[in-house]
Amino acid sequence: MRVFLRTLLIAFLRLVTRVFFRSVEVSGAEGIPAGPVIFIGNHPNSLLDPVMVTTTCGRPVRFAAKEVLFDSVVLRPFLWLLGSVPIKRRQDQVEGAREDAPVPNGAPARVDNNAAFAALLEVLEQGEAFGIFPEGISHTRPELAPLKTGAARLALEAAAKGIPVRIVPVGLHYRRRDRMRSRVLVQFGSPLEIDEEQVASWRADAHHAARMLTARLGIALRAQTINTSDFETLRVLEAVRRLYQPEHLTLTLTQQSEILRRLIDAWERLQHDPEVRRFYGDVGTYLLQLRALGISDRELRGDPPLLVRMQRLVRHAAFLLVLVPAAIPGVLVHLPVLITAVWAGEALTSRGDVRATIKMCAATLLTLAAYLAVAGVIVLRDPTPAGAARALTTLVLLLLSGYATVRVLERQGELRRAFGSFVALLHLDQELARLAAERDRLRARLLELVDKHLGPEVPRIVARDEHDDVAAWLDADDLD
């Protein structure tokens, strides 16, 4: 029964997060292994972080959660359903200690987490997965806080017992962490294994081995926690990374992450260079044009069949003629809920890493309450089977209108360009050919910038001769 209820709760949370966020992008989930796994992640958004990992990784995950959360009457049933394990923290033993502050004076030198460690080891012994945030705190700082050694100790102890545990780093990137209808990227890194040498080191000197593995985990986690000034910059530079990768070449996730980190570093150094800024703006325009047509960069590499083209046209027409009209009553019904949820997030806390959690909970509970209130009024006014049927029909219409509202909010940029996009879809062949040519030109310009700004002392991840496919597109106009 508990497993069934947990499945329902995760499905509900997946729905809620898809409504709360405009888009949830997931990278690297296909590389998550089966068997015993420890997920380690950065912790920028309080209770939303475990929810995002749980709803995107494709397998059940039990999380280590700070013990004080289990004191909440509201949270305790959900923590129980999700199989969360309480962890004691030194700062929680001091009344009034701040979440994101250093451990205060008067905190005990250590706390007893033997029971928690035993429970988490049992999870691994059963071939399941658990998650932990080794920073130990939720915070809004742009860089990772120093990692605690708990995750490393658990992994080493499990490996010493013969459990084939693997550690998967998870990077969570929120465009605006405290804003509803924002976007989030969940990036899973390559799994890390514990080899025999590390196990031998653990048996010889557990403290030293844990510190060494923690340092390794820090490097792996930083590879996923890509820090940029905003999500839009990350989106454009991720597109630049895709442009840079030759179509015939398969890169590992590690190589892809390294290329993206180099691009971010280069952008921070060169963003005021006119040539670089012009290229960045042109890539952003290229992405907007792709989005308006509902196609991806990958789809430009092939010729979509007639059926796919027709589907694009029908989908855009349905958006304009069905979803937009249906969203109008949805906006009127849900607007008070949204305003109240935003107010609650701003008024009830000053912590940026908690606001989004409050807003999501408030929006969810208020929406459910509003729906039940409307249905209740209908039934009270007409307590007959016909009244109950009308109440049920109204609930279905409210849900459909709410869905239409969400979809229109997600695609509001397309709404502003609706007519132009419709005309472009009528001439999809020409648009695809034009964008494919633009992609090749952008790729050629990118390689010129790389050659110009990448120093000879930096080893290339992709050899220069792997890019010979763009030579025909580079001309004098592209260098101006």
- Checking if the pLDDT of 162 tops 50, the result is yes
The total number of residues written for the chain in this structure? 480
Write down the CATH superfamily of domain 2-93+113-227.
Glycerol-3-phosphate (1)-acyltransferase (3.40.1130.10)
Give the pLDDT band of residue 474 (cuts 50, 70, 90).
very low
User: What is the reported pTM?
Assistant: 0.64
Give the three-state DSSP class for 132.
strand
Q: Where are the domains of the chain?
A: 2-93+113-227, 235-303+427-479, 306-425
Among 361, 409, 16, 351, residue whose Cα is nearest residue 177: 351
Give the pLDDT band of residue 416 (cuts 50, 70, 90).
low
- Read off the tokens for 353: 């890493």
Mean pLDDT over 308-319 rounds to 66
- Read off the tokens for 297: 């960069």
Other C-beta atoms lying within 10 Å of the C-beta of residue 364: 18
Among 124-128, 155-159, 250-254, 472-476, the range scoring the smallest mean pLDDT is 472-476
pLDDT attached to residue 480 = 38
- Checking if the pLDDT of 20 tops 50, the result is yes
pLDDT attached to residue 469 = 60
Q: Mind listing the pLDDT tens digit for each residue in 230-272? A: 667 878 998 899 899 887 787 765 677 778 888 988 998 999 9
Specify the pairing of strand 62-66 against strand 192-193. unpaired
Give the pLDDT band of residue 101 (cuts 50, 70, 90).
low
- Read off the tokens for 466: 């792997």
pLDDT attached to residue 476 = 38
Tell me which of 74 and 379 has the higher pLDDT. 379
pLDDT attached to residue 478 = 39
Q: Mind listing the pLDDT tens digit for each residue in 58-95? A: 999 999 988 888 888 878 888 898 899 998 877 766 66
Say which amino acid occupies 75.
Answer: L
Q: Among 90-94, 118-122, 345-349, 384-388, which range has the highest average pLDDT?
A: 118-122
Distances from the Cα of 461 to the Cα of 4, 280, 298, 308, 442, angstroms: 46, 21, 21, 35, 19
- Checking if the pLDDT of 305 tops 80, the result is no
Give the pLDDT band of residue 443 (cuts 50, 70, 90).
very high
- Checking if the pLDDT of 415 tops 60, the result is no
Among 290-294, 297-301, 393-397, the range scoring the smallest mean pLDDT is 297-301
Q: What is the rounded average pLDDT for all residues in the chain?
A: 81
d(CA 475, CA 480): 9
Tell me which of 127 and 319 has the higher pLDDT. 127
pLDDT attached to residue 347 = 77
With beta carbons less than 8 A apart as the criterion, state whether 360 and 45 touch: no
- Read off the tokens for 98: 């701040």
